[in-house]
Structure 1
Amino acid sequence: MKKIEILILGTLALLLANCASTRAPQFYTLSPSLTGVGATSTNVSVSVGPVSIPADVDRPQIVVRTGPNQVLLAEFDRWASPLKSNIARVIAENLATVLGTAQVSVFPQSSAAESAYRVGVDVIRFESELGKRVVLDALWTVSSRKSGRTESRRTNMTESAEGGGYTGLVAAHSRALGRLSGEIAETIWEFEALKP
């Protein structure tokens, strides 16, 4: 009987030691990358959302492409918040900066229904290659509530993510979202220029 108890206690001690040696998870968040240099203050109101993302990256872990048909779930490198809401927030913050307005909300906030413009984003590819690059491919639509005019476009871009591990990877995604936000802002300015 003593041998069994010793074996059980030894196994438990080994399991606890393995758990203690596991590294703590690291959490990452996307950040706005556009500046308001040259932006004039406007009264433009914009609602960002809904944002959709591919199911394979819609998870807490950062998903890294390791081959043409293979990915790795980075168990200890995770998003601090759900990725689709993280993307919507960053696009909204970028738009607020570049458009020079505080009236940018993330759908479905109550102010979203009254916004002059609605921006929907369907992310087709949100790929990460550690130490190499990130790919952002998105279909997006800007709709004017007043005129009923809608413009749909597609943005496909690659950003370098050399060095910096997961921090560099997340920074590259933030830069790609900044470029996407810039294209959306240009379309909103085009709509504004057509106003009577």
Structure 2
Amino acid sequence: MRRRGLLAALALGACARSPEPRLFTLAPLPGEARPGGPRTIELRRPGLAGYLDRPEIVRAAGPYQVGLAGAERWAEPFADMLGRVLAENLTQRLPGSTVFTEAGGLSADADGVVELDVQRFDADAAGRVTLLAQVAVRRGSGRREGTRTRSLRLSLPAAGDGTPAMVAAMSAALAQLADAVAGMLRGG
């Protein structure tokens, strides 16, 4: 009995010393609003490289190495957050279009579908954020009718040191991705 009490006290002491997690979220950013997109757009749940599919914030730590940002975590599952923020960005850029996510509570027949595969989305040791993604946009009712694909590599420097500056640069990269996707949805 005594041993269990000692183990419980040690476990509680270890928990008391662990730092509180700092939670971060990507934010939508405004862009050029231009009509001409499909009336309804379904944004499918983004595919993620395995190393990004975790609650911890990932940074490049050196050649062939990534690191986790300790107690700094995403406030929601990363793929869900990417989809939510990209949908908000697209809604702002495509007035007259209704954008909904596959992961959300709505389902409807969509006039346009966006699929996204994120292969890289992190910051290097110097704080430069890189977003590498493949995008497929379909307009029309046929499975292959009007499908356009594009590979995008976006790279932006963070405006300062630390995680808040990195997350701001990631939000800016996601806004640039939304600009490109909106153009594809308009037929450009």
Shorter-chain TM-score: what band?
0.7 to 0.9
Task: Look up the match of 2:139.
Answer: 144
Per-residue CA shift, 1:7-43, capped at 9, x if unaligned?
Answer: 99888766644432322001111111124x5545977
Unpaired runs of 5+ residues, structure 1, are 192-196
Task: Look up the match of 2:119.
Answer: 124
CA RMSD of the aligned region, Å? 2.8
Rounded to whole Å, the distance in 2 between the matches of 1:20 and 1:110 is 38
Give the 3-state SS of the residue equivalent to 2:177 in structure 1: helix
**Which of 1 and 2 has greater Rg?**
1
Task: Look up the match of 2:166.
Answer: 169
Q: Does residue 68 of structure 2 align to residue 73 of structure 1? A: yes
Give 4+ residue runs of structure 1 displaced > 4 Å after superposition: 5-18, 40-43, 108-113
Report the Cα offset of residue 65 of structure 1: 0.9
Residue type matched to 1:95 in 2? Answer: L
Per-residue CA shift, 1:50-107, capped at 9, x if unaligned?
Answer: 3101001100111111101111122300111111111111111111000013510001
TM-score under structure 2 length normalisation: 0.85
Unpaired runs of 5+ residues, structure 2, are none
Aligned partner of 2:39 among 27, 44, 64: 44
Contact 2:44 2:101 in 1 (8 A): yes
Q: Structure 1 80/101 Cα, relative in aligned 2: closer, same or farther at 3 Å?
A: farther
Aligned partner of 2:187 among 160, 180, 190: 190
Per-residue CA shift, 1:103-152, capped at 9, x if unaligned?
Answer: 10001557545111000001111122365111100000110133621000
Task: Look up the match of 2:26.
Answer: 30
Identity across matched positions, percent: 30
Aligned residues, how many?
186
TM-score under structure 1 length normalisation: 0.82
Task: Look up the match of 2:53.
Answer: 58
Report the Cα offset of residue 164 of structure 1: 4.5
Give the 3-state SS of the residue equivalent to 1:50 in structure 2: coil
Residue type matched to 1:115 in 2? Answer: A
Residue type matched to 2:83 in 1? Answer: A
Rounded to whole Å, the distance in 1 between the matches of 2:14 and 2:108 is 52
Rounded to whole Å, the distance in 1 between the matches of 2:64 and 2:170 is 21
Higher helix share: 1
Q: Does residue 152 of structure 2 align to residue 180 of structure 1? A: no
Q: Structure 1 190/161 Cα, relative in aligned 2: closer, same or farther at 3 Å?
A: same
Residue type matched to 2:58 in 1? Answer: V
